[in-house]
Structure 1
Amino acid sequence: MKDDLALIALESYITRGTKIDHILKEWRGGDTFLVPCKCPRFASGEAKGIIVDSIRDKDVYILVDVSNNSIRYEMDGELNRMSPDDNYQDLKRIIAACNGKAKRITVVMPFLYEGRQHRKILRESLDCAVMLKELEAMGVDCLVTFDAHDPRMQNVVPLKGIENVSPALQFTQVLLTEYEDIQIDPEHLMFIAPDEGAVERVVFMASVFGVDIGMFYKRRDYANIVNGSNPIVAHDFCGRDLKGMDVIVVDDMIASGGSIIDVCAQLKIRGVKRIFIFATFGLFSSGFAKIDKAYETGLFDKIFTTNLVYQKEELLNREYYYSVNMNRYIAAIIDNLNKNNSMTPLVKPEKRMRETIANYVPIIKT
Structure 2
Amino acid sequence: MADLEPFGPIGIIAHTANLEFVKSVSNILFEKRSKRVANRSNRFVDTPGYLRSDYIIDSKLVRFQTGEGKFQLGESVRGHDIFIITDILSRNLTTDIFGYEHILSPDDNYRDLLRIISTVSGKARRINVIMPFMYEGRREVRSSSGESLDCAEVLQQLYSLGVSNLIVFDPHDTRIANSVPLMSIDMPRSAYKIISTLLSSFDHLKIDKDCTMVVSPDESGVNRGIFYSSMMNLPLGIFYRDRDYSVKVDGVHPIKDYKFLGDSVEGKDILIVDDMINSGSTMLRTSKKLKAIGARDIYCLSPFGLFTDGLNVFDKAYADQTIKAVLSTNLIYRTPELLSRDWYIDVNMTPYVARIIDALNVDESVFDLINSTSRITDLLGQIRIGELMDEFGEE
Same fold at TM > 0.5: yes
User: Do 2:8 and 2:81's aligned partners in 1 also have CA atoms closer than 8 Å?
Assistant: no
The count of residues paired between Structure 1 and Structure 2 equals 364
1:49 equivalent in structure 2: 71
Residue by residue, what CA displacement relative to the aligned partner does 1:20-79 show, whole Å, maximum 9, x if unpaired? 111111111433111122221221111112222111111110010010011101111111
Residue by residue, what CA displacement relative to the aligned partner does 1:77-128 show, whole Å, maximum 9, x if unpaired? 1110010000000000000001322111110000100111111012111111
2:41 equivalent in structure 1: none
**Partner residue of 1:79 out of 92, 101, 121:** 101
Q: Which moved more, 1:11-20 or 1:80-89?
A: 11-20
Change (3 A) 1:39 1:274: same
Report the Cα offset of residue 184 of structure 1: 2.1
1:28 corresponds to 2:30: no
Residue by residue, what CA displacement relative to the aligned partner does 1:173-209 show, whole Å, maximum 9, x if unpaired? 1111112222222211111111122211211121111
User: Do 1:2 and 1:28's aligned partners in 2 also have CA atoms closer than 8 Å?
Assistant: no
Alignment-mate amino acid for residue 48 of structure 1? K
Report the Cα offset of residue 233 of structure 1: 4.3
2:208 equivalent in structure 1: 185
Distance 2:24 2:244 in 1: 45
Change (3 A) 1:86 1:229: farther
Change (3 A) 1:220 1:35: farther
Report the Cα offset of residue 12 of structure 1: 2.7
User: Do 1:114 and 1:127's aligned partners in 2 also have CA atoms closer than 8 Å?
Assistant: yes
Q: What SS does the aligned partner of 1:174 have?
A: helix
2:37 equivalent in structure 1: none
1:293 corresponds to 2:316: yes
1:356 corresponds to 2:361: no
Alignment-mate amino acid for residue 274 of structure 1? D
User: Do 1:235 and 1:262's aligned partners in 2 also have CA atoms closer than 8 Å?
Assistant: no
Distance 1:24 1:221 in 2: 53
Distance 1:310 1:134 in 2: 25
User: Do 2:8 and 2:361's aligned partners in 1 also have CA atoms closer than 8 Å?
Assistant: no
Alignment-mate amino acid for residue 16 of structure 1? F
Distance 1:294 1:310 in 2: 23
Report the Cα offset of residue 337 of structure 1: 0.6
Q: What SS does the aligned partner of 2:206 have?
A: coil
2:24 equivalent in structure 1: 19
Matches within 5 A, 1:162-177: 162-177=185-200
Alignment-mate amino acid for residue 340 of structure 1? D
User: Do 2:94 and 2:101's aligned partners in 1 also have CA atoms closer than 8 Å?
Assistant: yes
Residue by residue, what CA displacement relative to the aligned partner does 1:123-148 show, whole Å, maximum 9, x if unpaired? 11111111001001100011101000
Distance 1:119 1:218 in 2: 20
**Partner residue of 1:103 out of 97, 102, 125:** 125
User: Do 1:12 and 1:87's aligned partners in 2 also have CA atoms closer than 8 Å?
Assistant: no
Highest CA radius of gyration, 1 or 2? 2
What RMSD in Å do the two structures reach over aligned CA positions? 1.8
User: Do 2:16 and 2:90's aligned partners in 1 also have CA atoms closer than 8 Å?
Assistant: no
User: Do 2:121 and 2:161's aligned partners in 1 also have CA atoms closer than 8 Å?
Assistant: no
Change (3 A) 1:48 1:262: same
User: Do 2:170 and 2:275's aligned partners in 1 also have CA atoms closer than 8 Å?
Assistant: yes
Paired-residue identity, %: 36
Alignment-mate amino acid for residue 275 of structure 1? I
**Partner residue of 1:160 out of 183, 205, 223:** 183
Distance 2:248 2:111 in 1: 32
Change (3 A) 1:237 1:332: same
Report the Cα offset of residue 234 of structure 1: 3.2
1:279 corresponds to 2:284: no
TM-score under structure 1 normalisation? 0.95
1:270 equivalent in structure 2: 293
User: Do 2:224 and 2:273's aligned partners in 1 also have CA atoms closer than 8 Å?
Assistant: yes
Report the Cα offset of residue 263 of structure 1: 0.4
**Partner residue of 1:257 out of 260, 265, 280:** 280
Change (3 A) 1:230 1:338: farther
Residue segments in structure 2 that go unaligned for 5+ positions in a row: 1-5, 35-51
Distance 1:156 1:316 in 2: 37
Distance 1:11 1:202 in 2: 32
Distance 1:257 1:26 in 2: 38
Distance 2:381 2:331 in 1: 27
User: Do 1:9 and 1:36's aligned partners in 2 also have CA atoms closer than 8 Å?
Assistant: no
1:63 equivalent in structure 2: 85
Report the Cα offset of residue 260 of structure 1: 0.8
2:364 equivalent in structure 1: 341
Distance 1:102 1:231 in 2: 50
Change (3 A) 1:269 1:14: same
Residue segments in structure 1 that go unaligned for 5+ positions in a row: none
Q: Which moved more, 1:27-36 or 1:257-266?
A: 27-36
2:116 equivalent in structure 1: 94
Distance 2:103 2:243 in 1: 32
Q: What SS does the aligned partner of 1:191 have?
A: strand
Alignment-mate amino acid for residue 252 of structure 1? D
Q: What SS does the aligned partner of 2:274 have?
A: strand
